Amino acid sequence: MYDQQNTAMETNSTYYTDLITKYFFGESTPDDIRELEKWVKADPANAAMFSEYQRTWKTIENARIDSSINLDHEWNTLVSKLKSKEDAIGTTNHKLKETESETGNLKSRIIYFSLRIAAIFLLLAIPTFLLYRYLSPPAETQLAAGNEVTEHVLPDGTIVTLNAGATLTYPSRFEGSFRNVTLQGEAWFEVSPDKLKPFVIASENVRIRVVGTSFFVNTKTWDGTKEIILATGKVDVYYENKPEKMAILSPGEKAELITNGFNITKTTNEDVNFLSWKTKHIVFNNTPLNEAVALLAKVYHTKIRLSDDRLSDCRITTTFDKQSPESILNVLKATLDLQIRNTGAGIELSGRGCR
């Protein structure tokens, strides 16, 4: 059953740490700032985290201002006073006591300055760590959907929804001329626009290149082909070692590719349910029962089978919108006079068949 886990929906904390770092260094774009504001307002914990970074940053700035004091001059002055007091030791007992007292005060001042310098270095270590992580090579992250549909925000703001069993590999931040990711399985992408840095999806030797658009990708079809269905924008589809064999998709079109065949077939998408696994919106229009059952099993990650092949001839015409699988099965039961049985290994549909 589809019950998306909160942990699967958790936003990548590294992405927002990068946004905060860029914000304080004055490197944020307007889109970065809007995304950061939305994140801060979304959860009190996010606001508290941002406030803590802000306080640390202000402390660092104040420490930098304080550190502008000429410490060398202060040190030389202290040493000079110490020396003059040491020369005066032994002249009188009164003078000796006075010197010891003032020397103690001077030592306290030295300790104070030493501690302040140490504090400055400690505070500077915080943004230094952030800078180190920001400037170091990006680490790769693998997002796995497991048994549930998973939605995630990538470092550039792109939203990706993975179907169960799919995996996506991507860097903690996108560097260079392209935003490269690797996909296995089914996914829906809403790519954040960036004309200067195209978004490229790799799956074996197949490449999908976009600038900013929304589309569906399936790298594991039943017959071994890969398919791309475009909803908005434009998509370039090609083979890594055969870039000249490129197909450009327009909204509503589908491309099918055979991994080792270097052949791209472009057609109009006729499948109204290609995103049902994500939206839970299902349309049956005189659909054979075996096809309807196969779709329901995929959408709800449940094993459903027909007890008799003759049931495949039954047809169903109806629309379901975010209904539970139990509700849908009850509609099929009433409409086609079926019996529903949970076998423990899955759900079995039986009946007399249809004419």
Q: How many CA atoms lie within 13 A of 185 on its CB side?
A: 21
> Mean pLDDT, the chain, as a whole number?
77
Does residue 228 sit in helix, strand or coil? strand
CA distance linking residue 196 with residue 341, whole number of Å: 56
Q: Would you say residue 165 lies in a domain?
A: yes
Give the DSSP letter string of 86-123. Answer: HHTTTS-HHHHHHHHHHHHHHHHHHHHHHHHHHHHHHH
Does residue 262 sit in helix, strand or coil? coil
CA distance linking residue 226 with residue 219, whole number of Å: 5
Do 161 and 237 belong together in one domain? yes
In terms of C-beta density within 10 A (0-12 exposed, 13-18 middle, 19 or more buried), how is residue 145 classed?
Answer: buried
Q: From the CB of residue 115, how many other CB atoms can be counted at a distance below 10 Å?
A: 10
Sole residue written with tokens 């103690």: 104
Do 155 and 245 belong together in one domain? yes
Structure confidence at residue 33 (pLDDT) = 78
Of 103, 119, 135, the position where a domain reaches its end is 135
Element (H, E) at 187: strand 186-190
Domain that holds residue 310: 280-350
Rounded to the nearest 10 degrees, what angle do helices 44-66 and 93-135 cross at?
Answer: 130
**What is the count of structural domains for the chain?**
3
Do 178 and 254 belong together in one domain? yes
Q: Would you say residue 149 lies in a domain?
A: yes
Structure confidence at residue 76 (pLDDT) = 53
Is the pLDDT reported for residue 131 higher than 80? no
Give the DSSP letter string of 22-69. Answer: HHHTT---HHHHHHHHHHHHH-HHHHHHHHHHHHHHHHHHHHHHHTTS
DSSP letter (8 states) at residue 230:
E
pLDDT tens-place string over residues 156-190: 899 999 999 999 999 988 888 899 999 999 999 99
CA distance linking residue 157 with residue 144, whole number of Å: 18
Structure confidence at residue 89 (pLDDT) = 45
Structure confidence at residue 121 (pLDDT) = 54
Rounded to the nearest 10 degrees, what angle do helices 71-87 and 93-135 cross at?
Answer: 160
Q: Kindly report the CATH number assigned to the domain that includes residue 293.
A: 3.55.50.30
Q: Would you say residue 49 lies in a domain?
A: no
Q: Kindly report the CATH number assigned to the domain that includes residue 192.
A: 2.60.120.1440
Tell me if 49 sits within 8 A of 19, measured CB to CB: no
Q: Would you say residue 151 lies in a domain?
A: yes
The DSSP bridge partners found for residue 347 are 304, 342
pLDDT tens-place string over residues 296-347: 999 999 899 998 888 888 899 999 999 999 999 999 888 888 899 888 888 9
